[in-house]
Structures are given as structure tokens and as C-alpha cells.
Amino acid sequence: MKSTAELQEKSVTKIDTKWRFIYWRSAILYLLPSIILFSVFLFYPLGKTLYLSFFLTDQQGNANVFVGLENYQYILQAESFHKSIKATILFVLYTVPTGVIISLFLALLANEKIKGVGIFRTIYSSTMGISVAASAVVWLFIFHPSMGILNQLITSIGGTSIDWLLHPNWALVSVSVTTIWMNIGFSFLIILGGLQNIDDHLYESARISGASYFYQLRRITIPMLSPTLFFVITVSLINAFQTFGQVDILTQGGPSESTNLIVYSIYREAFVNYQFGTASAQSIFLFICILIVTILQFKFGERKVHYQ
């Protein structure tokens, strides 16, 4: 008796390991394309960036001289990198809160159940279909010193025209305005989706008890919407850190490096000055910044978020 039980157990484990092997093999087949692509174009280059950040390189990007942490010391002391960090932080502060608030406002408007609201939804989301290059070119003209509509409006009411893109204090604001406009479409669509997921019964019972619009907004809409807002804020933050196209077309990082955001700074260091070592050190810096932001967001943001 004992031996048959043992035998059975053995065959069961044998079948088990056989299935386990089959599952493994097919899983790997399905995952192989992703794994290869991630390895070649994501993990390997991330490691290579870290590697290059410890070296001086030649113009072809070959690592020549090992310099340890000198590239990091260099960028952390360089005035232009300080300016770049300052500009990036200011840019995040200018664009993220304003962008999210405007999109929330538009989504609340477009969530009202009235006739013809579909057209407005389409218009608000339209900026998502407009590329960075196209948006930046249009805004470049809006900010044009003499022919642009902004200065024409200002001078027509008797003001003095503003050097939107040529004055160090205004340039970053102008790039931020362009960016906020560009991002409205995406944030709006996501927030509207979140609003439509909120259960209608919640509002019905609030209405019966005579709660005002703003009371409902504060007590029902915002809490129920918090996961969506949390997502939109995270995405906007990461996008802000990755800004490149607007800067390239509107200001090329100027005037006096006031709009030299971090990705633009990396681009110039690597592909204009051919300093791949210091550019890699800046890239690692960017990676760590985004990592910290994401982790902090999940740690502290998650607690305040109300899930259904």
C-alpha cells in the first residue's frame, strides 16, 4: 500500500514539473519580444549611461579615461547646470498645478448633462492631437514681438509690448503657457473619464438632502476623483521633467539659459558639445529625480487618495 501511494505521489510531482516546464517555455516565448527589446533599448542603455557617466569620452562616444565621480562633481558645481535645475523646478511649479486645475475645471464643465456638450469635449481634448512641433510653432507666432496677437492686443489697449521669448523673466513663463495648453487635452480626457465613473446615486442622495453644487464638489466629486487626479499629477510631473520640443523651437534654451530645461541641457551637452560623459551624468541625475518623484508620490499621495 505504502509503495503505491509513494509511486502516485512521484508521478504527480513528475506531471507537475512537466507542466511547470511547459508553462515556463510558452511564457518565455510570449515574453521574448518584450524582453529582448527592453534589454537592448532600455536596460542596457541605462547601464551604459551609468558607465559613461564615470568616463571622459571622445567624439564617437567611446569611453576613454576613467574619472570616477568627477563628471558628477563637475556638473554639480557648474553654474549652467544650477541654472538648468532651477529652471526645471520653476517650470514644474508653473505647469503642473495650473495645468491640472484648468483641466479639472474644463472637465467639470464638460461633465454637465446639457445639449451639445459633445462639441466642447472634442474641442477641449483637441490639443492632444496637436504635436509638440506644431504647437510650439503656433505659439512662437502668438509670442511674436510685433506681429503676434498678444502684443497686438496689449498695444491696442495702450500698453507697451512685452518681449515674451527674449526676456529672461518672461521666456520661462511663455514656454510654460505653451506647455499647459499642449497638455490640457490629455489631462482633460483622463479627468473627464474619472468623473463619468463616479456613481450617479451619490449625487442623487446629495440633491435630495439639498446639498449645494460646491458642497457636492467638495464632499463627493473631489474625493471620488482623487485616484484620477493622482494619476494625472504624476503623469504631468514626469512630462514636465521630460520637456524638450517646445524649448528647442521657442527659445533654444535662452535667453541667458533661463529656459535650459534638463533634457535640453542633456541634448546640448551630448549632441552639440559631444561631452557624452557629463551628459550621461546629467541623464543619471534626471533618472534619479524622476525615480524620487514617483516613489514620493506613491508613498504620500496614496494615503490621501480615496478609492471606491
Partner 1 sequence: MKILRPTITYLLLIMTAVIVFFPVVYAFLISFMSGAELLQGKFIPESFHLENYQKAFERLPLAHYLWNSFFVSTVVMLGQLIVSALAAYAFVFIPFKGRNIVFFIFISTMMIPWEATMIPNFLTIQQLDWINNYQSLTIPFFAIAFGTFLLRQHFLTIPKELKEASDIAGLRSFKFFWKVVIPYCRTSFVTLGAYGFLTTWNMYLWPLLVTNNDQVRTVQIGLKQLQTQEMASEWGVVMAGVIIVIIPTLILLFLGQKQLQKGLAQGALK
Kindly state the smallest distance separating residue 125's Cβ from partner 1, in Å: 6
Closest approach, Cβ 68 to partner 1, in A, equals 19
Positions of E strands within the chain: 55-57, 63-66
Q: 69 or 117: whose CB is closer to partner 1?
A: 117
Q: Which is nearer to partner 1, 94 or 241 (CB)?
A: 241
Residue 307's contacts (CB-CB under 8 Å, 6 or more residues apart) are 227
Q: How far is CA 71 from CA 47, 246, 284, in A?
A: 16, 28, 11
Count of beta carbons in the 10 Å neighbourhood of residue 302: 12
Residue closer to partner 1 by CB (options 2, 299) is 299
CB of 192 to partner 1, least distance (A): 6
Question: What gap in Å lies between CA 278 and CA 282, rounded to an integer?
Answer: 6
Nearer to partner 1, 6 or 298 (CB): 298
As measured in angstroms, the least distance from the Cβ of 299 to partner 1 is 14
- Least CB distance from residue 48 to partner 1, whole Å? 4
The rounded distance, in Å, linking the Cα atoms of 79 and 89 is 15
Cα–Cα distance measured from residue 114 to residue 274, given in angstroms and rounded to the nearest whole number: 57
d(C-alpha 35, C-alpha 39), whole Å: 6
Closest contact distance (angstroms) between CB of 6 and partner 1 is 25
Helix axes 79-110, 222-241, angle to 10 degrees: 150
3-state secondary structure of 148: coil
Q: Which residues of 206-222 are buried (b: 16+ CB within 10 A; e: fewer)?
A: beeeebeeeeeeeebbe
Nearer to partner 1, 258 or 283 (CB): 283
To partner 1, the closest distance from the beta carbon of 5 in angstroms equals 26
- Are 276 and 270 a contacting pair, CB within 8 Å? yes
Of the two residues 106 and 173, which places its CB atom closer to partner 1 in the complex? 106
Beta-bridge mates of residue 156: none
CA-based torsion, 64, 65, 68, 70: positive or negative: negative
Tell me, what DSSP letter sits at residue 66?
E
Q: Least distance (Å) from partner 1 to the CB of residue 211?
A: 15
Residue 2 or 63 with smaller CB distance to partner 1: 63
Q: Which is nearer to partner 1, 7 or 152 (CB)?
A: 152
